[in-house]
Amino acid sequence: MTDDRSNAISDRVLALAGLAQALAQVRRIADTGQAHDAILATSLDSVFRIDAATPADVYGGIASLRPGLTLLRDRFEGRASDDQMPRLALSVLQLERRFVREAEMGQRVRDRIAEIRAMAERQGSSSHPEVLSALGNLYSETLSHLRPRVLVQGNPHYLGQASVVAEVRAVLLAAVRSAVLWRQLGGSYWDFAFSKGAMRQAAEQALR
């Protein structure tokens, strides 16, 4: 494998780790009503880092992606336990394809993210309740109208709470951001057919 191809796969693996990490939090919030604070912050912060210099910078460094990289490695090695994750990931990747074709919606999302980023800076946190609510509303008003819809299963007690639903939607927005990055880095479904071994190696290397 050439260095350029290896580097490209490594970058795409980081984006996929960001996607997996976000979706794991979606599953956790839907089941328990609670997110892991640090992992949640990594996902939400990535929404606001539109002009990051490198894929790693989108997430605040490779170390912040360890949970997602571990999920990917386990999936590639057949040791993953959550059977809903592949379905969720496929839905998000399909949603990303529809989203990038909607130029007007894309501009609306970018403009609104800039406004919400300013709110997050004022509040001092991307996971402040007002920020979560704003991001959740943005997802609800835009991407949730595209097909296929991303259907999240969980505990009805928590999914009946408006604040939990807003948090789930906010993290789904972060998942779509990672899917967009993955495509921008040259990712395609062919990766899962022909580059699985290389992606596993890249995930293992990033975890060292």
Could you list the pLDDT tens digit for every one of the 208 residues in the chain? 557 778 999 999 999 999 999 999 999 999 999 999 999 999 999 999 999 999 999 999 999 999 999 999 999 998 988 889 999 999 999 999 999 999 999 999 999 999 999 999 999 999 999 999 999 999 999 999 999 899 999 999 999 999 999 999 999 999 999 999 999 999 999 999 899 999 999 999 999 9
* 3-state DSSP percent of the chain in helix, strand and coil, to 5: 75, 0, 25
**Are the CB atoms for 39 and 25 separated by under 8 Å?**
yes
53 DSSP 8-state letter: S
At residue 175, the pLDDT reads 98
Rounded-to-integer distance, Cα 175 and Cα 96, Å: 9
CATH number at residue 203: 1.10.3890.10
Output b/e per residue, 145-154; b: 16+ Cβ within 10 A.
Answer: ebeeebebeb
The pair phi, psi for residue 137, each rounded to 5°, is -65, -40
At residue 135, the pLDDT reads 98
Predicted structure pTM score: 0.96
**Are the CB atoms for 136 and 166 separated by under 8 Å?**
yes
At residue 46, the pLDDT reads 98
At residue 1, the pLDDT reads 52
At residue 6, the pLDDT reads 81
Residues 6+ apart with CB under 8 A from 115: none
**Are the CB atoms for 176 and 99 separated by under 8 Å?**
yes
At residue 2, the pLDDT reads 58
Q: How many structural domains is the chain composed of? A: 1
What is the residue range of 198's domain? 3-207
